[in-house]
Chain A
Amino acid sequence: MADSKHRPPDPGELHGTLTHDHLSRLYSADTESAVLYRYIAQIADIEGLHGASEALGEVAESREQFAQGQLDYLKVAGLPQVGRPLRTVAALVGWLAVQARREAGEDLSEAARTARAEGFADIASWLDALKAARLAQAERFTALAGELARED
């Protein structure tokens, strides 16, 4: 036990563990925070608060690095959102297409319906535009997967 405690962790053993779950949550928190900080940094810059903008931008950059650090482990144990390990890019692209199509089909369609029902017409239109864009992205991934498979 003493040996195993001190050897570097084998990410392959992560799948399905609580640590895997924790890393996935940290990945989500880091990516969400990075986008949020960048957004606020941009507004701070426009408002003339350039010191604040720089600080927020630097923290955002660090959080992106943290998120990539989580992916270093998660790429073997199972990537967030797709739930598949990243062995080769070619093998993953098809799954990215599936994920993009699922998000557009289920999540965004339902969200747009709800927004419209609640009287948020502009938000519904925004969600529809996102849905169309994600479906286009899914098609692009599908085409890319086909190209990569042919090159294989």
Chain B
Amino acid sequence: MRTDDTATYDADSIRTLRGLEAVRLRPSMYIGSTGQAGVLHLLFEVLQNAVDEAMAGFGTEIAVMISDDDTVTVRDAGRGIPVGAIELVLTTLHAGGKFGPEAGYGVTGGLHGVGVSCVNALSESLVVQVYRNGVRADQRFRRGEALGPVQTTPDDAPDGTTVTWRPDPQVFGDARLELAAVRERLRELAFLMPAVRFTLTTPAGEESFAEQDGAAGYTRFVAAEHPPVHVPIHLEGTEDGVGVEVGLLWTWGYHEETRSFVNTIRTRHGGTHELGLDEGVVRAVQRYLRQAGHLGEDDALLIAGNDLREGLTAVAVLELADPQFEGQTKTMLSSESARTAVRVVVEDGLGAWLSAHPDAAGAIAGRVLEAARARLAARRAGERARYQQADRSVSKEIYRKQFGIRSANWHDSATWITAGDLLQTHAEMCEVSDDARVLDICCGSGVVGASFKGRVGHIEGLDLTPEMVALAETRLDHVTKGDVYDIPFPDASYDLVCNREVLHLFPDPHRPVSEVFRVLKPGGQFIFGQLMPYGAADAPWFFRILKKKQPLFFQLFLDEDLLKLLGDAGFENVTTRELVVWEDIDRWIETHETPTLNRHEIRRLYRDAPAAVRRIHPFKMDERGHIMDAWRWVVFSGWKPEA
């Protein structure tokens, strides 16, 4: 679009940006964001310079101080910036000591001289103090411009550099530092650099971060929520000039997590080193399982790579002289040498470790075999229910077993189960008298029935699973053990029947809906909530996600399907209310009924969601791969006609 027909484009139009002007003009190009992440990025840039000094062997203490107004100080005990180069380093892009071998940096994580000058450009004020060879040098800056020359005075304090800055509100508005992210980074660094002690001082006090157990200790920290299968495994080696340190820990949880670092920089999107890690683990464990007699030669193929990695927390730490990354933000490593190095170190090291630790190796083998058995059981659960549907019967045992296991952490297993808005919507649609008898079918822990308390007289629960019955008894007036294909109550015995997220689990949903109709009194109300796709365009995509999560998933309902189902059963005056509940997908799929392969496939379905799906179905995937989905819930209300 042309905006100014009178504008001329000639040699006078060409502008050269002076010094750090370019950074202030387009800050996001350099630090990725001018929000909270950008403020954090400034800190990480300066911190990385201190870390690079420590990695080169200079200094074992790094301190971070953050004041109330987000003025930040980073102090290291390194060699100090050469005094004659302070202004150059602070005001010039691509000026630093990490481009060649002269300064003694073996490997570095820094952005090659872009970092601290960017911080200076984007700070309202910045003060640098260097202690070096008995001299103290000070220089002050404002928005990247020096306020005067370097001032030097004799001082015999230990060598080091202190940088203090305040992020410029003109650039970052009111974005504040996220202290939790600072703590996470310092803790990471403490594990990666056992020789260095990090401190964080805030108005609330001082915290210290010092860890001695490296990558192996870090696995224990990352997987702290899950019971470990064995003591963490520590592997270390150098292959083709690439230094590799790996920690491995299998837990009894379902979650699988890999954290990888290259020269202390976290590679959140993985890359070649994580591919090598995968390959090394798969090869070493497969070989061990065969050699130790846990599998016959023919059985080996039954153990899939994802069985081996279920519940595995891995930390890979690389030192690499000239790492190649995809893109400037360094979140994905592309160096092929890293893949081979990690694979060799892990395959050889893990193989040797398993042979030398037969008890732990046996426990890991048991964990892997259990994952494989669970995967096969999940497949059989779907198949068995399917085949039995042909003769109109359903194996209650499959449902009883599955929900019995889930009852142990039922309320923590997904957001929707206890989401207040969703429960409230069910209750608000209730239009029966205050002495009404209510039946909550497939009541689970009884939260839906309990949401009607104060509006009705008596609330009865019905569930197939003894563990769920026990949970519901704490909330409802009475709970009966039984199933919805054959509700164990006489005709016309309830004023209201409710349930939520149940009908999709049945091969033949007409039967439970007919049973609900039967036990309702004439003029009685049926209220139920169901997770629904947004429309036809996201229905196949959402179907695949739900089926991969839950092998007993049988029906994806569109709105018109449920309206027809209710109409066919005889319900009238059907109304609906919709609401969105943001579901934590990582938490939702962290369950015994979802095999590891399926968990990965679910994540990929989100990652690769077609544009037609994204247009109507909102979900968020953050840079760490964490998924939040705006689930569309529809609560239906239908009435049994008066006699």
Contacts and interface: CB of A to CB of B under 8 A. Distances in A.
Given A46-B600, A126-B540, 4 more contacts: A47-B306, A50-B279, A122-B553, A126-B547
Interface stretch (A8-16, A71-79, A132-140): A132-140
Contacts of A51: 279
B629 to A, nearest CB: 17
Contact of A122 (B281, B507, B597): B507
Contact of A121 (B389, B533, B597): B389
7 contacts: A43-B601, A48-B282, A119-B386, A119-B387, A121-B506, A125-B554, A132-B536
A130 interface: yes
B556 A133 contact: no
B275 A50 contact: yes
A118 interface: yes
Listed from nearest, the 10 A-B pairs whose CB atoms lie closest are A47-B305, A119-B390, A121-B507, A48-B278, A136-B536, A48-B305, A132-B536, A129-B539, A48-B282, A46-B600
B305 A49 contact: yes
Contacts of B533: 129
A141 to B, nearest CB: 12
A50 B278 contact: yes
A47 B507 contact: no
B537 A46 contact: no
A42 B282 contact: no
Contact of A48 (B308, B382, B507, B561): B308
A71 to B, nearest CB: 21
Nearest to B309: A48
Nearest to A119: B390
Nearest to B552: A122
Given A48-B282, A49-B282, A50-B278, A122 B386 contact: yes
How many residues of B sit at the interface, in one of the four size bands? Answer: 35 or more
Contacts of B561: 128
Contacts of B275: 50
A47 B389 contact: no
Interface string B518-555: 00000000000000010111011001000100000111
B231 interface: no
Contact of A136 (B304, B535, B601): B535
Nearest to B533: A129
Nearest to B544: A126
Interface residues of A, number: 23
Contacts of B543: 125-126, 129
B604 interface: yes
A2 B390 CA distance: 65
A138 B329 CA distance: 42
A136 B537 contact: yes
A133 B536 CA distance: 5
B244 to A, nearest CB: 17
Contacts of B547: 122, 126
A49 B278 CA distance: 8
A121 B275 CA distance: 39
A121 B536 contact: no
B537 A133 contact: yes
Contacts of A48: 278-279, 281-282, 305-306, 308-309
Contacts of B553: 122
A9 B279 CA distance: 49
B556 A129 contact: yes
Interface in A39-63: 42-43, 46-51
B157 interface: no
A43 B597 contact: yes
Contact of A46 (B281, B536, B597): B597
Nearest to B391: A119
B282 A119 contact: no
Among B279, B382, B539, B597, the most chain A Cβ lie within 10 Å of the Cβ of: B539
A120 B386 contact: yes
A133 B540 contact: yes
Contacts of A128: 556, 561
A113 to B, nearest CB: 15
B300 interface: no
A47 B554 contact: no
Contacts of A129: 533, 536, 539-540, 543, 556, 558
B508 interface: yes
Contacts of A126: 540, 543, 547, 556
A43 B306 CA distance: 9
Nearest to A132: B536
Contacts of B282: 47-49
Interface string B590-607: 000000010011001000
A127 B389 CA distance: 18
B389 A133 contact: no
Among A46, A119, A126, A135, the most chain B Cβ lie within 10 Å of the Cβ of: A46
B602 to A, nearest CB: 11
A137 B615 CA distance: 14
Contacts of A49: 279, 282, 305
Contacts of A50: 275, 278-279
Given A50-B278, A133-B536, A122 B554 contact: yes
A135 B556 CA distance: 17
B279 A42 contact: no
Contacts of B387: 119
B29 to A, nearest CB: 32
Nearest to B558: A132
Interface in B358-396: 382, 386-387, 389-390
Contacts of B556: 125-126, 128-129
Contacts of A135: 536
Nearest to A50: B275
Interface string A99-118: 00000000000000000001
A46 B508 contact: no
B350 to A, nearest CB: 13
A125 B536 CA distance: 13
A129 to B, nearest CB: 4
A105 B234 CA distance: 60
A56 to B, nearest CB: 15
Contacts of A120: 386
Interface string A14-49: 000000000000000000000000000011001111
Nearest to B601: A46
A119 B386 CA distance: 6
Interface string B290-316: 000000000000001110110000000
